[in-house]
Amino acid sequence: QRLTVNLPGLTMKNPLMPGSGTFGFGDTPAAEKMDLNGLGALVIKTTTPHARKGNPQPQIAMLKNGVINSMGLTNPGVDAVVNGKLPHLRQKYPDLPVVGSIGGSSVTDYQCVAQKLANSNMLNALELNISCPNVQEGGMAFGTSPQTVEEVTRKVKEVTGSIPVYVKLSPNVTDITVIAKAAERGGADGLTMINTLLGLHIDVETRQSVIGNGMGGLSGAFLKPLAVRMIYQVAHVTDLPIIGIGGVETVDDVLEMFFAGASAVGVGAAHFDDMEVIPHLAAQLEQRMNELNIESLEELREEVRNEF
């Protein structure tokens, strides 16, 4: 009960959700073995107007301190998602809050995907992914200029009706507060932050990148201080709810996100060590809150708000 979180469109039994891509459309081998009802919400893989095979293999590699990926927005395209993946997911999990994720390489693309996902009536909220670092056309380019962030957010809001839209922000910017404010002006209902940080890991034996595409998005534990800093900054300039994501592994990491100003928490790379990390963290959260004299998670966001 104390773990319940209410966000626009999402009533979650615990504040934890996977990062987009972690469980595909709820149909990955790991997801098939689990009961996804242990998640506060499920965020599905970013979806584009047409199917995408993704970038050259290998698309992902483990680093000493985290993960680098250049999946390249692999997905079956929005029609296959709406007509196949989502009905299947909904049949299996009628009560699970599900968040769709909108991708594209033009404003028209984003609007097309947003409208089809919204009209499916099978999603509780949408994420607007303007921060994929792994595609040439669009992706992160949309999320790094305040003008385009505002425009694409506004255009997506025009076609999504009453379904809340969380804008997923890129850490590959100098001032995240400028981008967050642009999303707010465009009509965002919330923010998800942060996506992966663009990086490169070269193997000295092969003298080549460890992933096929060269550069890729970094995730994992070392990213947490960056995410916490950015969430903290943004929480002080907007009232929008923030889904905090970036390097969360432990129950204290979850609470740190709340102390920074998040209202819910995403977990991505930690799934490589434990596919059930979310139910495991949820099971520990209440006891840790007691130890730290935290009455409710909402009060933590309120405390940050009072620092304005």
Question: Is there a contact between 197 and 223 (Cβ–Cβ < 8 Å)?
Answer: yes
The answer to the question of residue 196 lying near ligand RRO (CB under 6 A) is yes
State which of positions 201-240 bind ligand RRO (CB under 6 A): 217
- Catalytic residues, by residue number, are 132
Applying CB under 6 A, among 18, 40, 72, 246 the residue interacting with ligand RRO is 72
State which of positions 28-57 bind ligand RRO (CB under 6 A): 46
Between CA 184 and CA 246 the distance in angstroms is: 21
What is the closest distance, in whole angstroms, from the C-beta atom of residue 102 to ligand RRO in the complex? 10
The answer to the question of residue 73 lying near ligand RRO (CB under 6 A) is yes
Task: Using the rule CB under 6 A, give the single segment among 66-74, 77-85, 235-243, 285-293 that binds ligand RRO.
Answer: 66-74
Q: What angle do CA 222, 226, 228 make, to 5 degrees?
A: 110
What is the closest distance, in whole angstroms, from the C-beta atom of residue 77 to ligand RRO in the complex? 14
Tell me, rounded to whole angstroms, the distance of Cα 3 from its chain centroid: 20
State which of positions 92-131 bind ligand RRO (CB under 6 A): 103, 129, 131
Kindly list the strands in the beta sheet with 42-43, ordered across the sheet, starting from the edge strand earlier in the chain: 16-18, 264-267, 242-245, 190-193, 165-168, 125-129, 98-102, 42-43
Q: For ligand RRO, which is the closer residue by CB, 72 or 220?
A: 72
Nearest to 305 by CA among 251, 246, 232, 220: 232
> Which parts of this chain interact with ligand RRO (CB under 6 A)?
46, 69-73, 103, 129, 131-134, 195-196, 217
